[in-house]
């Protein structure tokens, strides 16, 4: 059972999907789940349609939260994440996710995720209505 002070992390990077991130953050926070948007910097980062979002925390600042993290959400496709896997900070972050067996939610194809993630990987729906329902189920699983 998740801890009362559990957290869900939403990884944000250049070119990620704004609508997906917004749906997850909105639905999870509406359900009372503690959600933190994290990125390589605290500066605004543009999504795939140019909307800029400023992460709440950097990857380094988010590290202490990993022990309380129930899920990591990556609001993009696996192909976009693979472009980032050469970033040493992100590679180290993914290693910690794997070591702690934190489930990862991502868009796209799960087979490619095995290239660099050993954690449980779940593909979320691309359709907005289905994504809202999916986000609500994740909130329920978080024990809130």
Would you write out the chain's pLDDT as a tens digit for each of its 144 residues? 344 579 999 999 888 999 999 999 999 999 999 999 999 889 999 999 999 999 999 999 999 999 999 999 999 877 777 777 778 888 888 889 999 999 999 887 655 555 556 778 888 888 888 999 999 999 988 765
pLDDT at 62: 96
Predicted structure pTM score: 0.88
pLDDT at 17: 92
* Domains of the chain, earliest start first: 7-141 (3.40.50.880)
Alpha-carbon gap, residue 34 to 22, rounded angstroms: 14
Report the 10 Å Cβ neighbour count for 68. Answer: 15
Distance of alpha carbon 131 from the chain centroid: 14
pLDDT at 109: 60
Residue 95 vs residues 4, 9, 68, 88: alpha-carbon distances, Å: 25, 15, 16, 11
């Amino acid at each position: 059972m998740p801890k009362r002070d559990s957290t869900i992390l939403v990884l944000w990077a250049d070119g990620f999907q704004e609508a997906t991130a917004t749906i997850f953050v909105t639905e999870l926070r509406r359900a009372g789940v503690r959600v933190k948007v994290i990125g390589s910097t605290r500066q605004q980062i543009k999504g795939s349609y140019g909307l800029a979002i400023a992460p709440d925390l950097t990857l380094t600042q988010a590290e202490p939260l990993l022990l309380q993290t129930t899920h990591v959400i990556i609001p993009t496709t696996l192909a976009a994440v693979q472009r980032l896997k050469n970033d040493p900070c992100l590679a180290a972050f993914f290693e910690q996710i794997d070591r702690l067996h934190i489930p990862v939610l991502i868009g796209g194809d799960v087979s490619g995720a095995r290239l660099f993630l050993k954690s449980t990987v779940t593909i979320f729906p691309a359709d907005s209505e289905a994504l809202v329902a999916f986000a609500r189920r994740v909130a329920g699983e978080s024990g809130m």
